[in-house]
Structure 1
Amino acid sequence: MNKLIRRRETHSSVQWDENKLHPLLARVYSGRGVRSSQDLDLGLTHLLPPAQLLNAERAAKMLADALAEQQRILIVGDYDADGATSTALALDALKSFGATQVSYLVPNRFEYGYGLTREIVELALEQGKPDIIITVDNGISSIDGIATAREQGINTLITDHHLAGHQLPDADVIVNPNQPGCNFPSKNLAGVGVIFYIMMALRSELRNRDWFADRTEPNLGRLTDLVALGTVADVVPLDRNNRILVAAGLQRIRAGQARPGIIALLEVASRPLRGVVASDLGFAVGPRINAAGRLDDISVGIECLLQDEPSAARRLASELHQKNQDRRQIEQGMQDQALQLLDELALDEVGVPVAMTLYQGDWHQGVIGILASRIKDRLHRPTIVFADGDESEIKGSARSINGIHIRDILDAVATRHPGMILKFGGHAMAAGLTIPRELYRDFNTAFIAEVERHAKDVELQAVVESDGELGAGDFALDLANELRFAGPWGQHFPEPVFDGHFKIVQQRLVGDKHLKLVLSLKDSQQIIDAIAFNVDLDVWPDESVLEVEVAYRLEVNEFRGKRSVQLMVEYLRAL
């Protein structure tokens, strides 16, 4: 699909310290809403205080009482990287505070589905009745599960970041920046960020109780590697507060002070510690943890994160690496089938609909979310991919585009068509749902109609946001290196992308699907290497094309000990 390259607006009124900031970097920051040099100070002292997070102090008192009484604490997590890091952080922190009876339970997505359900409470009772259940990265929609826990006399603390439905669970305490009545300035905390904030509040409460008079007070900064990983992997917007958390974790990892599990996962992904950036967490570490939850049991990922012994961490990291390889193979087969289905729809002739759903019974439930994301990126349309669930149900994973709030869309469909959606949850860009199998076609019609109602003012043309052109002197190793470490870059604070017209000097395929290019600046003889991954093989290479419009990232390429500038192509169009 052709894309529109659109240059970001910058604000010339912003005041920068010119001695400390390269002019190009100043332009990049300005285009992302940074208004002063002070906004770039990402020290932990600038974190929003836990007291501003609704019920964080109530949760701290509840947990402090549980520690004092040595209550049995059960953490109920989620089966993705945010859930895994949240679970590991809660377990690690509570033990460091002195908890002696704390354990975790994560639902197997294929047996129990998502969140704290009645079945999970019953399973917890079989393993030994807890005094308190803490949900991490889930719980805000667990009406029945919380009710069951209360019936059994179990205290409940929900820690979550997903959007609340019309009814809140009747938990003892709910901490969620997105719940009604919470005025926390950052609504973008990941699940791991929420539980980290509660642990900061708990430490303050324990200080007030002189808990550390005869104990060593733990350094919560050592948990920021987990916070950074879960925050980046869950693709939440990197507002300043989240960038502070991610920057602290990255600094810890680069210094070699991360937990053995994260170090081992970076090693199996061939990412050197000293050069780790946020994208390494998002594209290398996160997927390997997610693979465990997608294909089997996320507890392998959690145990890897909890390991103190490097050798054991490496063994578990290797297991996760293999699961990720298996996941890729499954995904490729599903993607080939999905593209065949799209070909059968003849979209080039009839036009791309405003939204897309795909269903195949034998697709893997754990991988449909990735497939939905791939199709969404290809078509630039909200996309839901379904696979068979239990008995007469099918389960769907939805991904959306800017301007279409996918959870609100599902809520509207459920309201207009009672009984069509059995359950759903999520946020603006991603959601999950279950529907009766026989209602798939009806749901497809209702979903497309609802998206049409909301899409009147939404740009359905795929857009590449660019930070403008680079001058000949900007294609420099030092600047590429400075841009790499200047973030942390991520969702809503994206890595810099530039655009320009170039002449093609050479073009060839490498690895059967990647296009290696040698380009020259249009108005000079300067030569630059570039690479475009996973190109359309029906189009490239094309020896007849002499000039191209390119949107790209400025990267440092290391090969056999030699470092050079390379353009990582985001979009390529023949001129």
Structure 2
Amino acid sequence: MIPNNYEWKFLSNNPNKSIIDNILAAKNILDSDKESFLNPKIADLHDPFALLDMDKAVIRILDAISQKQQITIYGDYDADGITSTSVLYMFLTEVGAKVNYYIPNRFTEGYGMNIDAILYLADNKTDLIVTVDNGITAIAEVDFARSKGIDVIITDHHQCLDQIPDAHCIVNYKRPNCTYPSQNLAGVGIVFKLITAIATTLKLSLEEYVYKYLDLVSIGTIADMVPLLQESRVIASLGLKLITHTRNPGLRALLNIINKNSQPTTSYTIAFQVAPRINAISRMSDANLAIELFTTQDTQRAATLAQILDNNNIKRKAKEAEIVTAAFEYVKNNIDLSKEKVLVITGTDWHHGVLGLVASKISQHYYRPTIVCTLDGDKYVGSARSVDGFSIINAITEQQQYLIKYGGHTQAAGLTISASKIRNFTEDINKANYEILDKQLLTPKIYIDATVPLSEVTIDLYNSLSALEPCGQNNSSPILLVKGKISKIIHMGKRSEHLKIILEDNNKFLDVIIFSQGQLSNFLNKGEEVEIAGSISKNEWNGKTTIQFMMTAIRSANETTSLYYLELYTKFQNSPMTHLKGLSYYEITQLIPSYSDCAAVFQYLKKYAADNISLNQLSFTLKLNEYKILQIIDIFCELGFLSYKYNNNSIYYRIESYTKNKLENSTRFNQLSQFLKGE
């Protein structure tokens, strides 16, 4: 059996529906919504004044413009906050506002409004603060701003607390009593609605003054991982089309670095190429450089700034890789994975800006909630990431007696804890969640949108699936299932770290690409039937376009049978006779090894001449089930032929002796043979 860490779940597979319709059904898209989902239009956007307090926000901002009052945009340092700040700053500048912006430092100030920043703004004669992508929890800070004579307009999309700030007005669809029809906007989406409302009030052309910013709005939307449904899908879709011929010099310069081959910009490009570079600048340097990039009209300065972002992303990746390596070492040397299901990893002098990224990689590898902390004086500063179905912020909140500061949401959180309390925190968060984090919760799931015959994996299907773009949160790229026989296994990469297998079914062939899992070749066999989950990709090389399949997961076609035999062996390893009574003669022959079975296994191990072999390879090559092979290995161990350890479908063995010894000298072999004879 090929190692498979996933629980496979099939969402929809109606044979009477097309592949696209099956995928839409899996995404719960009704037939009545199909057209608007596949072809989003400007007309699908909602009236911005349907947002509670939007009218108050527009009136106050226009009043500030007419009175030449100083407006300060109070932003955030992530991609959503940076694009939000950039868009609002450029729009307000164009309509005649006296406007500047303030971005808190990630390390010295942290997220959101703070008293020192407000003091600074008051000293610099700010009359009106407009927050973007923050502010909904800044109760004390808003009160302080008011005491300094500064009005505050909050635009945010984060969850409200029981009490909301006493601001001039609050534009947030998550407010109680707000009946806005779309609940998926990012912070930059709220800004887009705000500038639409202002432009509409001023009777300005939306095409000329507002829609030109959809490129940046789509970037912030995709980067912030809000569900790409309803209005957010419209924004992302229209924005991606605009990016192709963007008039923004900074964005164009950044894309020139990222996309040298002028490939179409997709949500994948934004999420994994553009957004990391925007986020890296605040992690490694100064977020204001990213805002300057998107707001400058100087193409030369834009090129310089784009290169600065790219260089900082390279530094970020190097720093992240360094800490990831150290974190894996920490787990190996300090954590008992059988007892600790919440991984708390500590280090010294780790860069604060990449702790969340490191936690994410460790969490994905072990599929456990992970908290990565670095020592900062007499306290640890940490970032946490979780697995589906487990709220890391709830788990952290339950241990608040140990914490100096904390915050976050279900899947990600941050915390500060006294160094003297980290051990007790680690013990208690694990005790509290040991039973909750059971095997089912700690098994990653893969959701199959549709099963596709190899004959239908074509360029036409690829083009059809492109209509589902933009893909992202709550609208993930479709995961398809293909089945077939392995006809070829090819190693790729300098260290053979990647694989390509050629799958065949009814004389139809498909290239399947497997990244960073070169070790899988030990478990794959030419001629073996497999099921592969993944996505279709287009490969263009030397003027030729081909379709390939990017593997997410693979499993043996006979996995259920293999699991049965493995569980049977585990259960009855030490009492192999217990479960045989009552079985038919045929069933017994499938479980009890014969002399020739034993000889075949020994000769294969001897010829293989390695220190480990996959159980799947033995089973497939010798046509013996897993139970029978492991019984034979136990017989050899009893006779002193070899010693072994079995782990995760691999048998690690050492031939101890070639001295002839009869199988009849094995108690286990004799008992099994006699049972087969009916003795």
Normalising by structure 2, report the TM-score.
0.75
Q: 1:249, CA displacement in angstroms?
A: 0.2
Partner of 2:181: 185
8 Å CA contact 2:356–2:385 kept in 1: the answer is yes
Mark the CA change 1:218 to 1:258 in structure 2 (over 3 Å): closer, same or farther. Answer: closer
Output the CA distance in 1 between the equivalents of 2:439 and 2:159.
Answer: 24
Question: Which residue in the other structure is 1:569 paired with?
Answer: 551
For residues 488 and 280 of structure 1, what CA distance do their matches in structure 2 show? 11
2:507 and 2:534 map into 1 onto residues whose CA distance is 19
Distance in 2 between residues matched to 1:344 and 1:320, nearest whole Å:
36
The answer to whether the 8 Å contact 2:13/2:22 transfers is: yes
Q: Tell me which residue corresponds to 1:400.
A: 386
Q: Kindly provide the amino acid, as one letter, of the partner of residue 30 in structure 2.
A: R
Name the CA distance, whole Å, in 2 between partners of 1:321 and 1:173: 38
Change (3 A) 1:438 1:517: same
Aligned AA (1:435): I
For 1:497 and 1:335, the matched residues in 2 are separated by 28
How far apart in 2 are the matches of 1:347 and 1:271? 46
- The answer to whether the aligner puts 1:381 opposite 2:368 as a matched pair is yes
2:498 alignment partner in structure 1: 515
Q: Per-residue deviation at 1:103? A: 0.8
Look up the match of 1:105: 102
The CA deviation string for residues 369-408 of structure 1, in whole angstroms up to 9 with x for no partner, is 111111221222222222234x433222222232223334
Q: Quick one: which of 100, 120, 139 aligns to 2:135?
A: 139
Q: 1:462 to 1:52 in 2, by over 3 A?
A: same
Quote the Cα distance in structure 2 between the aligned partners of 1:218 and 1:11: 46
The verdict on how the C-alpha distance between 1:173 and 1:434 changes in structure 2, with shifts beyond 3 A counting, is: farther
State how far apart, in whole Å, the 2-side matches of 1:178 and 1:339 are: 39
Gaps of 5+ in 2: 557-615, 617-679
Kept in 2, the 8 Å contact 1:97–1:218? The answer is: no
Shift of 1:563: 1.6
Matched, 1:494 2:476: yes
- 2:220 corresponds in structure 1 to 230
Aligned in 2, Cα 1:316/1:32: closer, same or farther, shift over 3 Å?
same
The answer to whether the 8 Å contact 1:11/1:31 transfers is no
Task: Give, as a single letter, the amino acid of the residue that structure 2 aligns with 1:91.
Answer: Y
Q: Deviations over 1:68-125 (max 9, x none)?
A: 11210111111111111011011011112221x2111111111212211112112334
Q: 1:495 to 1:138 in 2, by over 3 A?
A: same
Question: 5 Å matches for 1:5-16?
Answer: 5-9=8-12
1:455, CA displacement in angstroms? 5.5
TM-score normalised per structure 1: 0.88
Q: Where does residue 28 of structure 1 map in the other structure?
A: 23
Contact 2:391 2:410 in 1 (8 A): yes
Could you tell me which residue of structure 1 aligns to residue 677 of structure 2?
A: none
> Which amino acid letter does the alignment assign opposite residue 463 of structure 2?
N
1:551 paired residue among 510, 519, 533: 533
Opposite residue 505 of structure 1, the aligned amino acid is K
| C-alpha contact (below 8 Å) 2:19/2:450 kept by paired residues | no
Deviation at 1:190, TM superposition (A): 1.0
Whole-angstrom distance in 2 between the partners of 1:400 and 1:177 = 26
Q: Rg: which structure is higher?
A: 2
In structure 2, what is the equivalent of residue 20 of structure 1? Answer: none
The change in CA–CA distance for 1:438 and 1:27 in structure 2 (over 3 A counts) is: same
Taking a change above 3 Å as real, the CA distance of residues 154 and 486 of structure 1, as seen in their structure-2 partners, is: same
Q: Offset at 1:30?
A: 1.4
- In structure 1, stretches of 5+ residues that fail to align are 15-22
Is residue 479–residue 534 contact of structure 2 (8 Å, CA) maintained in 1? yes
Cα distance in 2, alignment partners of residues 140 and 559 from structure 1: 50
List per-residue Cα deviations over 1:416-445 (Å, max 9, x = no partner). x3xx33333333322222222322223333
Rounded Cα–Cα distance in structure 2 between residues aligned with 1:197 and 1:554: 35
Q: What's the counterpart of residue 247 of structure 1?
A: 237
Q: Summarize the Cα distance change of 1:178–1:234 in structure 2 as closer, same or farther, 3 Å threshold.
A: same
| 1:225 and 1:258 in contact (8 A); partners too | no
Residues 320, 442 of structure 1: CA spacing in aligned structure 2 closer, same or farther, 3 A cutoff?
same
- Distance in 1, Cα, partners of 2:207 & 2:182: 28
Q: Per-residue deviation at 1:60?
A: 1.4
C-alpha distance in 2 between matches for 1:217 and 1:477: 35
Kept after mapping to 2: 8 A contact 1:225/1:253: yes
Letter of the 1:245 counterpart: I
Q: Secondary structure at the match of 2:491?
A: strand
Task: Within 5 Å, give how 1:84-103 maps onto structure 2.
Answer: 84-99=82-97, 101-103=98-100
Number of matched pairs = 548
Change in CA separation of 1:10 and 1:526 when aligned onto 2, cut-off 3 Å: closer
Match of 2:358 among 349, 367, 371: 371
Secondary structure of the corresponding residue to residue 374 of structure 1: helix
Q: How does 1:48-127 map to 2 (within 5 A)?
A: 48-99=46-97, 101-126=98-123
Equivalent AA in structure 1 for residue 77 of structure 2 = Y
- Picking from 329, 345, 353, the partner of 1:358 is 345
Q: Does 1:423 align with 2:419?
A: no
| Residue 265 of structure 1, aligned match among 226, 229, 254 | 254
Question: How far apart are residue 454 of structure 1 and its match?
Answer: 6.2
Check 1:482–1:331 CA distance in 2 against 1; reply closer, same or farther (3 A cut). same
Stretch moving more, 106-115 or 81-90 = 106-115
AA aligned to 1:104 is: Y
SS in 2 for 1:177: coil
CA contact under 8 A between 1:517 and 1:529: conserved in structure 2?
yes
Aligned residues of 1:504 and 1:517 also touching (Cα < 8 A): no
Contact 1:140 1:158 in 2 (8 A): yes
Q: Contact 1:509–1:541 at 8 Å: present in 2 too?
A: no
Per-residue CA deviation, residues 122-173 of structure 1 (Å, 9 max, x unaligned), is 23345x1200111111122223332322221111112122223344333222
Structure 1 counterpart of 2:149, from 153, 163, 176: 153
Measured after TM superposition, the shift of residue 237 of structure 1 is 1.4
**Map of 1:170-181 to 2, 5 A cutoff?**
170-181=166-177
Deviation at 1:451, TM superposition (A): 4.5
Give the superposed CA RMSD. Answer: 2.6
Say if 1:446 and 1:163 are closer, same or farther in 2 by CA, change over 3 A: farther
Q: How does 1:199-210 map to 2 (within 5 A)?
A: 199-207=195-203
Aligned twin of 2:599: none
2:367–2:442 CA contact under 8 A, matched in 1: yes
Q: Secondary structure at the match of 2:417?
A: strand
Q: Which amino acid letter does the alignment assign opposite residue 133 of structure 1?
A: I
Deviation at 1:174, TM superposition (A): 1.8
Corresponding residue SS for 1:171 = coil
- Give the fraction of aligned pairs with identical amino acids, expressed as a percent: 31
Q: 1:297 aligns with which of 263, 286, 289?
A: 286
Provide the secondary structure at the position in 2 that maps to 1:534: coil
Q: 2 CA distance for matches of 1:544 and 1:450?
A: 41
**Equivalent AA in structure 2 for residue 515 of structure 1:** H
Amino acid at match of 1:239: L
